[in-house]
């Protein structure tokens, strides 16, 4: 027979029924803050200080080269509002970010549900579907640039199966190019979302599903009432990652279309690059970067608040 820790002691020998001393408990729960000091110093030195110093240039007319430049206040931000390229780039960025977030996660969830079933080749399928996510984005972008060229494999395939009318100048037509970029990114990262959803799905206890099935719940009902609430944390992670990635999008766009034709696929990031390195407008470009940072911070904070409330409601 096992005894609870103090059960065998006479009453008078029991320690008083109080909490352990707070100092000791807190020490166990959280290591002293100065443990993080070396990392904090390094972070401050390499990331924080340069970033804050960099922000200063957003209020100057620095060209990236000339040591003499002047403080121009909010001029760069005012120019941005008047700059049709910047306004258009912000619109594209938000459109791309939202489309990617929706399509990539919907597809990722479907794939996860698929490969979570008991089919024989599911492990092989998981590997195949996840494979694009481990390739460097720039490589996949160059690959797709060739596949999507007017004489490329995609158009040849469409021709071969009799869908001549669907053939497009995928990257050269302003109406289509933006969606081609979205398509390539979804192709690459749907597998990534899938893996996170898969981890969520596998944490759903079988017994709960079985109990629901015995109670007469069909597959749709089981997904909605049992699986979905338990997937909430995976959904939060996926949505956060894809919206932040979508807003910051640079390399795939730059390699696929260079922001073109014209400015039809420019995002804030490609515009930052062009303004800084092609036009030598560093001050303006850093102002754009500051705006990008603010957009990322606001969108991800808002999203986090909404999603974590949903998560609590679901659990």
Partner 1 sequence: MKTRIPTVLPAVVTAGALLAACSGGTEAGDSGGGGSKTLTLASVDQGSVEDVVKAFEKANPGVKVRYTTSGADQYQQQIRTQLSSGTAPDVMSVWPGNGNPGATYVLAKPGYLRDLSDQPWAAKMPDAIKSVAQYEGKTYNAIFGQNGIGAVYNQQALEKAGLTPPDTWKDLLEFCRAAKAKGTPAFALGNQDNWVTQLVQYALVATTVYGDDRDFDKKMQAGQATFAQSPWTTALDKYLTMERTGCFQKNPLGTNYEASQGLAATGKTLGIVQGNWVIALLKGKNPKGTFTFKALPATDDPSATIVPAAAGAGYGVNAKAKNKDLALKFVNFVMSPEGMNLFVKKQGGLPSLPDTGYAVDPSLTELSKFITEDRTVPFMDQLWPNPKVQQTMLSGLQEIFSDQSTPEKVLKEMDADYKAGS
- CB of residue 271 vs partner 1: minimum separation in angstroms? 11
DSSP 59: T
Q: What distance in Å separates the CA atoms of residue 29 and residue 35, rounded to the nearest whole number?
A: 14
- CB of residue 174 vs partner 1: minimum separation in angstroms? 5
- CB of residue 65 vs partner 1: minimum separation in angstroms? 5
C-alpha distances (whole Å) from 211 to each of 202, 203, 215, 217, 313 are: 17, 16, 6, 9, 22
Residue nearer to partner 1 on the CB measure, 59 or 170:
170
- CB of residue 292 vs partner 1: minimum separation in angstroms? 19
The two structure tokens encoding residue 151? 């004489």
Residue nearer to partner 1 on the CB measure, 59 or 254:
254
- CB of residue 70 vs partner 1: minimum separation in angstroms? 14
- Which stretches of the chain bind partner 1, using CB under 8 A? 64-68, 145, 148-151, 169-174, 257-264, 274, 277-280
Residue nearer to partner 1 on the CB measure, 159 or 219:
159
- CB of residue 171 vs partner 1: minimum separation in angstroms? 5
Residue nearer to partner 1 on the CB measure, 149 or 303:
149
From the number of C-beta atoms within 10 Å of its C-beta (0-12, 13-18, 19+), residue 80 rates as buried
Residue nearer to partner 1 on the CB measure, 255 or 307:
255
Residue nearer to partner 1 on the CB measure, 55 or 217:
55
The two structure tokens encoding residue 205? 């206890």
- Distant-in-sequence, close-in-space partners of 267: CB < 8 Å, separation ≥ 6: 89, 92, 93, 96, 249, 250, 253, 259
Residue nearer to partner 1 on the CB measure, 92 or 145:
145
Report the candidate in 215, 234, 214, 241 with the shortest Cα–Cα distance to residue 113.
234
Q: Are 300 and 222 in contact (CB under 8 A)?
A: no
Q: What distance in Å separates the CA atoms of residue 177 and residue 197, rounded to the nearest whole number?
A: 29
- CB of residue 76 vs partner 1: minimum separation in angstroms? 15
Q: Are 185 and 104 in contact (CB under 8 A)?
A: yes
Overall size of the chain counted in residues: 315
């Amino acid at each position: 027979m096992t005894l609870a820790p103090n059960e065998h002691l006479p009453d008078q020998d029991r320690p008083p029924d109080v909490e352990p001393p707070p100092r000791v408990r807190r020490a166990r729960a959280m290591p002293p803050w100065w443990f993080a000091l070396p990392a904090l110093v390094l972070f401050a030195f390499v990331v924080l200080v340069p970033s804050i110093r960099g922000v200063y240039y957003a209020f100057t007319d620095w060209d990236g080269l000339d040591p003499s430049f002047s403080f121009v206040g909010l001029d760069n931000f005012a120019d941005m509002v008047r700059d049709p390229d910047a306004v258009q780039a912000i619109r594209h960025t938000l459109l791309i970010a939202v489309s990617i977030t929706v399509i990539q996660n919907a597809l990722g969830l479907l794939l996860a549900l698929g490969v979570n079933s008991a089919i024989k080749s599911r492990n092989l399928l998981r590997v195949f579907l996840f494979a694009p996510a481990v390739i460097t984005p720039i490589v996949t972008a160059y690959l797709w640039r060739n596949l999507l060229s007017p004489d490329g494999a995609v158009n040849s395939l469409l021709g071969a199966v009799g869908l001549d009318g669907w053939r497009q100048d995928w990257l050269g037509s302003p109406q289509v190019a933006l969606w081609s970029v979205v398509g390539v990114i979804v192709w690459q990262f749907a597998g990534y979302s899938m893996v996170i959803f898969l981890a969520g799905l596998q944490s759903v206890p079988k017994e709960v599903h079985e109990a629901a099935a015995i109670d007469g719940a069909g597959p749709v009902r089981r997904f909605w009432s049992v699986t979905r609430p338990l997937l909430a944390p995976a959904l939060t992670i996926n949505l956060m990652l894809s919206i932040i990635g979508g807003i910051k999008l640079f390399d795939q766009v730059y390699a696929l279309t260079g922001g073109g034709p014209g400015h039809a696929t420019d995002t804030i990031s490609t515009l930052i690059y062009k303004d800084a390195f092609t036009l030598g407008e560093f001050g303006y470009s850093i102002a754009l970067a500051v705006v990008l940072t603010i957009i990322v911070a606001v969108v991800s904070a808002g999203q986090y608040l909404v999603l974590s409330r949903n998560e609590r409601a679901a659990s």
